[in-house]
Amino acid sequence: MNQKREDITQAEENLTANLQLLETILYADLQNAGYQEIEPFLDNWVSLYQSRVDYLDLTAGNGFVFFRHGRQEPTDHFISRTVAIQYSYQSSATLSVRWNLTDAHFTARRTLMLLGLIQLITTLTLVFFLRLAMQRKRDSRMLSERARDLDLANQDLHQEMEERTVIEENLAIEKEQLQVTLRSLEEGVILIDCRGFILLTNSAAEEMTGCRGQLCIGKSIDEVLDLVEEGSESVFRLVESGLLLKTGGATKELVMRSLDHKSRFVSLSCSHITNDQDEITGVVVVIRDITKTRSLEQEQHKNSMLEALGVLAGGIAHDFNNILMAISGNLNMAQELIQEPSGDDAELQDILSNAEKATDRAADLTRQLLTFAKGGSPILDATAIDGVIRESADFVTHGADIHLEYDFEPDLLPVLIDRHQIGQVIQNLVINARQAMSTGGSLTITGSNSIEKQGDLETPMVLIEITDQGSGIPEPDLGHIFDPYFTTKKEGSGLGLAVVHSIIARHQGRIEVRSRLGEGSTFTIHLPASRKALSTPDQDMRSLIRGTGRVLVMDDDDAVRLITCRMVRELGFEVIEADQGARTIELYRDHLQRRQTIDLVIMDLTVPQGMGGQETIRQLLEIDPECRAIVSSGYSNDPVMANHLDYGFKAALVKPFSLRQLSRLLGKVLDQS
Amino acid sequence: MRQPVFFLIACLLMIPAAAPCHEVLVLGIHPYKPNNVLQKNFRPLADYVQEALGYAVEIRVGTNYQDHLHAISSGAVDLAFLGPAGYVNLTKLFGEHPLLGKIVTNGEPVFRGHIVVAENSSLTSLKELGGKRLAFVNLFSTMYLVPYAMLKQAGLKVEDLSGQAFLNSHQNVALGILAGDFAAGAVKEEVFLKFTDRGLRSLVPTMEIPEHVFVANSRLDPELIAAASTALMNLKSTEIGVKILQSIKSSCTAVVAAEDADYDPLRDLLKYLDKDLE
């Protein structure tokens, strides 16, 4: 009974499922007017379920039978179902199915059940495998997705690693660049933490502090930097000073002494390192060596002072020279007036001669002072240097406990020199030797000829050696003695040998030094020999050359103008006076207009309050290209004096000058004309 | 040593006999039945033509009537089977095409159709079809165009109907009317006769319509066209040939010569519909 009940239930479920399927298919056919598909479809279905389908009928709403199968009279055991299929608003069809449940059918139930079971098992198996396949597919998809995700993550990781590697490489490059930059800086760089302990230094800082390599790291900066205040020598401690804490950085100039006892002027500046919260995490201390800068500043200051001094000296020397001219000129005139000295006149002449010599020496000193003040190109003349040396050396050793010896070759070649400048050179060297032999000694000056070879070129030279028996010069100083301001003396400008070197260089020569401590020094001057013949000394200076004519004398100094005019008159000339250039031009033009020739103009080069000689000759030559003029100045090295012909003058006359010198020059100029 | 050589020679000699064709001829069929049915029905004919002409014959069924006409005119098909209205439209749209022959059914080269209703329908004349819903096979089929022309002659226009549906087969038209979904429709006579037992009634029969026809692509070689026509008309001469024809249509017994003038009455009737069909 129970078995049958179960069979009926199973059959009902089966029928219901099939009806649903039929309804779906038939609905589609009817709705799409596929009427002709209905019969073959139902026919097939009936064939499939022929053992079960007792009756099947599909009837249109109007009673038209689309399909009918089986007998209308039911059997004893059956179940039936009827389904209405509404396939349009107006149209419907009814599907009726009768499922047979007779014993005859149950006898085949086992087969059906078996078939059903097989179908079920098959279905379940199919479902299982389908689900398994779907699961696997899902799993596979998930695995694929996971694999893909892993792959992507792996790619991302690789990419990140590559990026990190690139970043690290860039950081390493940057670090190396910073290291190279730090190493190449001339400034010392020290990085310290907030407590003042050193974290990093560059090589310049190590050089300055004397603390090298890792020895600095971890030490307090005040332990490494030995700083004192400039001028006060009081110790400066960087951390205690609060300089590190000053915002915006701070700079201070100090003297730093390194651990290896070297001192230097430094400029210290500090900059803060801050984090995102603007907290100071460290300080960068930059040390700039300003020793050279200071030296240059001091040198510039010295130069400025010297320049000012030079200007002052030049001004004084110029005026002094004019005074000397007046003194010397008058003395000279006085001597000339005593033509045949006898008795008291002889003594008077001797006195006058000594006075004139003294003024000559004064003039030499003035000239040196002017040379020092203004420098200038040497006025070169072929000269027997031994005379210049003797004169200069004798002058500075006069009265000193120095035994002076000369040894000159008999045929010593003449040299092309400026007598006054070379004289200064000899004086400076002899003065140094005298100072080196403070307790006395022997000074030997020799002169010899030599040949200097440069390749195939042979240059005849003159060597002058000055050897003393002084204390000698330390070897470390030998390379610096010609440097400006270099001195080992407590007093002294350090310029003497620098001037010597400069003058020799302007003469196309050179100077060398050999020295041994305790034994003395030898200075050797090399000068090129002159190819010109020696300039003949003034001949027959005893006789004055007199002449006739009209001479215009221009000088702003009344005393100089007075003595010059007297000298010119003494020589037989008519004299016209002018105190400055403008007046000279006016007088010259006036005389020219009146056809009164002025045969010669003697004009002072420097006229502080008016037109000097250079401008005056220019204008005179415009008025009269045949104008003859002599320029006069106490400064022989002035470019106008040295190159007077280029400026339009016929000759140059160095003050102070004697009557005879003036006479000779006037004769020379007027004779040339 | 000699035997393999002779065997090879024999094989080579056999090859020409087995070699089917140098090219392929396409036989196009208008879609008056499902594709698989038409493929099956026309395969014997295709094989026959293949053997007769020495060309492989491929059967293609048009997706619709218009597509079929275009395929003929464009040369996509070489030989075509189409209905009489289809032929009239073909000549109207694309000009003359060589006629290979028309089929003969039930001993006649013409067929009829019927405008049918359900047996229990109250309709008795065409005029009463106004306001009714009608079923036809295909817009371009002869069994639409001819009944439609008849309706127009009766004074009805499409707008006078409540609707018209094209059900793609004569059977669907008959069953649709029997199911009560359509008030009337038009089917060919053989279908009508088949469903009379099931309650289908003829409202009005159609005029005699020339039968379905075989045409050729006008670009084909004239000698090939003539050979194809001859082959078709020779079908009736043999039992196998008749069976081939019956495979196409159970009532078909022959293919006879066809003239374009045979379709003039239909052409005249269809001209009546020109404005509506444009």
For the stretch A195-220, pLDDT in tens is 888 988 998 898 888 887 777 888 88
B169 contact residues in A (CB cutoff 8 A): 36
Between A482-491, A553-562, A565-574, B189-198, the lowest mean confidence (pLDDT) is in: A482-491
Is the Cβ–Cβ distance between A112 and A7 less than 8 Å? no
pLDDT, tens digit, for every residue of A135-162?
A: 777 777 777 777 777 777 788 888 888 8
Percentage of the residues of chain A whose pLDDT score is greater than 70: 87
Query: Which residue of A29, A31, A36, A95 is the best one to mutate when testing the B interface, meaning the one whose CB has the most B CBs within 10 A?
Result: A36
CA distance A552 to A602: 6
Q: Tokens 């080579």 belong to which residue?
A: B12
- Minimal C-alpha gap between A53 and chain B (Å): 24
pLDDT at residue B8, as a whole number: 43
Structure tokens at A192: 């310290």
CA distance A33 to A530: 141
B27 C-beta neighbours (distance < 10 Å), count:
22
A282 C-beta neighbours (distance < 10 Å), count:
17
Is residue A355 pLDDT above 50, yes or no? yes
Is residue A250 pLDDT above 70, yes or no? no
Radius of gyration over alpha carbons of chain B, in Å?
22
Q: How far is CA A189 from CA A178, A207, B149, B185, in A?
A: 12, 11, 111, 109
A90 contact residues in B (CB cutoff 8 A): 181
Query: Which residue of B121, B181, B187, B201 is the best one to mutate when testing the A interface, meaning the one whose CB has the most A CBs within 10 A?
Result: B181
Give the type of residue at A509. Answer: G
B172 contact residues in A (CB cutoff 8 A): 33-36
CA distance A134 to A149: 21
Kindly indicate the confidence band of residue A111, based on its pLDDT and cuts at 50, 70 and 90: low
| Beta pairing, strands B113-118 & B184-188 | antiparallel
Q: Which residue has the higher pLDDT, B21 or B106?
A: B106
Give the type of residue at A421. Answer: Q
Give the type of residue at A102. Answer: T
Q: Which residue has the higher pLDDT, A71 or B50?
A: B50
Kindly indicate the confidence band of residue A439, based on its pLDDT and cuts at 50, 70 and 90: confident
Q: Which long-range contacts (CB under 8 A, 24 or more apart) does A498-503 make?
A: A499/A372, A499/A424, A499/A425, A499/A428, A500/A424, A500/A425, A500/A428, A500/A429, A502/A375, A503/A378, A503/A418, A503/A421, A503/A422, A503/A424, A503/A425
Structure tokens at A203: 């090589």
Is the Cβ–Cβ distance between A436 and A520 less than 8 Å? yes
pLDDT at residue B263, as a whole number: 92
B176 contact residues in A (CB cutoff 8 A): 33, 35
Are B181 and A91 inside 8 Å of each other by CB? Answer: yes
Q: What is the mean pLDDT of residues B153-163?
A: 87
Between A85-89, A477-481, B27-31, the lowest mean confidence (pLDDT) is in: A477-481
Q: What is the mean pLDDT of residues A86-115?
A: 73
Find out whether the peptide bond into A656 is cis, omega within 30 degrees of 0: yes
Q: What is the mean pLDDT of residues B238-245?
A: 93
pLDDT at residue A108, as a whole number: 52
Distance of CA A235 to the CA centre of its chain: 33
Which of A34, A61, A91 has its CB closest to that of B172? Answer: A34
Query: Is some CB atom of chain B closer than 8 A to the CB atom of A33?
Result: yes
Kindly indicate the confidence band of residue B99, based on its pLDDT and cuts at 50, 70 and 90: very high
pLDDT at residue A415, as a whole number: 93
Structure tokens at A255: 């003297």
Q: What is the mean pLDDT of residues A49-55?
A: 84
CA distance A290 to A412: 51
* Three-class DSSP category at B32: coil
- Minimal C-alpha gap between B113 and chain A (Å): 19
Is residue B246 pLDDT above 80, yes or no? yes
Are A33 and B176 inside 8 Å of each other by CB? Answer: yes
* Three-class DSSP category at A457: strand
Nearest to B161 by CA among B126, B203, B201, B206: B126
Find out whether the peptide bond into A40 is cis, omega within 30 degrees of 0: no
B199 contact residues in A (CB cutoff 8 A): 64
Q: Tokens 């159709």 belong to which residue?
A: B113
CA distance A220 to A548: 92
Burial class (CB in 10 A: 0-12, 13-18, 19+), A667: middle
Q: Tokens 């087995």 belong to which residue?
A: B18
pLDDT at residue B229, as a whole number: 95
Query: Is some CB atom of chain B closer than 8 A to the CB atom of A61?
Result: yes
pLDDT, tens digit, for every residue of B21-55?
A: 347 999 999 887 778 889 999 999 999 999 999 99
Query: Which residue of A37, A42, A64 is the best one to mutate when testing the B interface, meaning the one whose CB has the most B CBs within 10 A?
Result: A64
Is residue A179 pLDDT above 90, yes or no? no
Return mean pLDDT, chain A: 83
* Three-class DSSP category at A16: helix
* Three-class DSSP category at A254: strand
CA distance B22 to A73: 64
CA distance B77 to B85: 19
Burial class (CB in 10 A: 0-12, 13-18, 19+), B189: buried
Between A134-138, B88-92, B134-138, the lowest mean confidence (pLDDT) is in: A134-138
Helices (H), B142-221: 142-153, 170-178, 189-195
Is residue A343 pLDDT above 90, yes or no? no
- Minimal C-alpha gap between A78 and chain B (Å): 29
A66 contact residues in B (CB cutoff 8 A): 175, 179
Between A486-495, B141-150, B210-219, B243-252, the lowest mean confidence (pLDDT) is in: A486-495
Q: Which residue has the higher pLDDT, B109 or A357?
A: B109
Q: How far is CA A287 from CA A206, A223, A457, A473, in A?
A: 11, 15, 53, 36
pLDDT at residue A358, as a whole number: 78
Q: Note the pTM of the prediction, 2 decimals.
A: 0.39
- Minimal C-alpha gap between A66 and chain B (Å): 8
CA distance A189 to A207: 11
Percentage of the residues of chain A whose pLDDT score is greater than 90: 28
Between A296-305, A631-640, B254-263, the lowest mean confidence (pLDDT) is in: A296-305
CA distance A545 to A600: 15
pLDDT at residue A136, as a whole number: 76
pLDDT at residue A444, as a whole number: 95
Q: What is the mean pLDDT of residues A411-440?
A: 89
B121 contact residues in A (CB cutoff 8 A): none
Which of A33, A91, A93 has its CB closest to that of B165? Answer: A33
Nearest to A497 by CA among A519, A516, A523: A523
Are A91 and B172 inside 8 Å of each other by CB? Answer: no
Nearest to A134 by CA among A142, B161, B165, A536: A142
Between A218-222, A464-468, B17-21, the lowest mean confidence (pLDDT) is in: B17-21
Nearest to A428 by CA among A462, A455, A466: A466
Kindly indicate the confidence band of residue B125, based on its pLDDT and cuts at 50, 70 and 90: very high
Is residue A461 pLDDT above 90, yes or no? yes
A85 contact residues in B (CB cutoff 8 A): none
Nearest to A376 by CA among A327, A317, A320, A429: A317
B181 contact residues in A (CB cutoff 8 A): 33, 60, 88, 90-91
Kindly indicate the confidence band of residue A523, based on its pLDDT and cuts at 50, 70 and 90: very high
Residue positions counted in chain A: 673
Is the Cβ–Cβ distance between B97 and B91 less than 8 Å? yes
CA distance A436 to B207: 160
Give the type of residue at B105. Answer: T
Are A93 and B179 inside 8 Å of each other by CB? Answer: yes
Q: What is the mean pLDDT of residues A551-574?
A: 92
CA distance B36 to A591: 148
Nearest to A57 by CA among A68, A65, A72, A66: A68
Is the Cβ–Cβ distance between A447 and A474 less than 8 Å? no
Are A66 and B175 inside 8 Å of each other by CB? Answer: yes
CA distance B117 to B179: 11
pLDDT at residue A413, as a whole number: 92
pLDDT at residue B51, as a whole number: 92
Q: What are residue A342's phi and psi, to 5 degrees?
A: -155, 145
User: CA geometry: angle at B172 spanning B166 and B178, to 5°?
Assistant: 115
Q: How far is CA A566 from CA A99, A235, A553, A659, in A?
A: 174, 72, 10, 10
| Beta pairing, strands A510-516 & A457-467 | unpaired
Is residue A486 pLDDT above 90, yes or no? no
**Closest chain B CA to residue A35:** B172
DSSP bridge pairs for A443: A404
Is residue A673 pLDDT above 60, yes or no? no
Give the type of residue at B55. Answer: Y
Which of B165, B180, B198 has its CB closest to that of A91? Answer: B180
CA distance A208 to A186: 10
Q: What are residue B23's phi and psi, to 5 degrees?
A: -135, 180
Structure tokens at A549: 């004519």
Q: How far is CA B177 from CA A33, A91, B145, B170, in A?
A: 10, 12, 19, 11
pLDDT at residue A340, as a whole number: 58
Structure tokens at A673: 């004309």
Return mean pLDDT, chain B: 86
Instruction: List Cβ neighbours of A543 (8 Å cut-off, separation of 6 or more).
Output: none
CA distance A540 to A664: 10
Is the Cβ–Cβ distance between A295 and A303 less than 8 Å? no
pLDDT at residue A606, as a whole number: 87
Kindly indicate the confidence band of residue B235, based on its pLDDT and cuts at 50, 70 and 90: very high
Is residue B268 pLDDT above 50, yes or no? yes
Nearest to B82 by CA among B94, B66, B95: B66
| Beta-carbon-side half-sphere exposure of residue A451 (alpha carbons within 13 Å) | 5
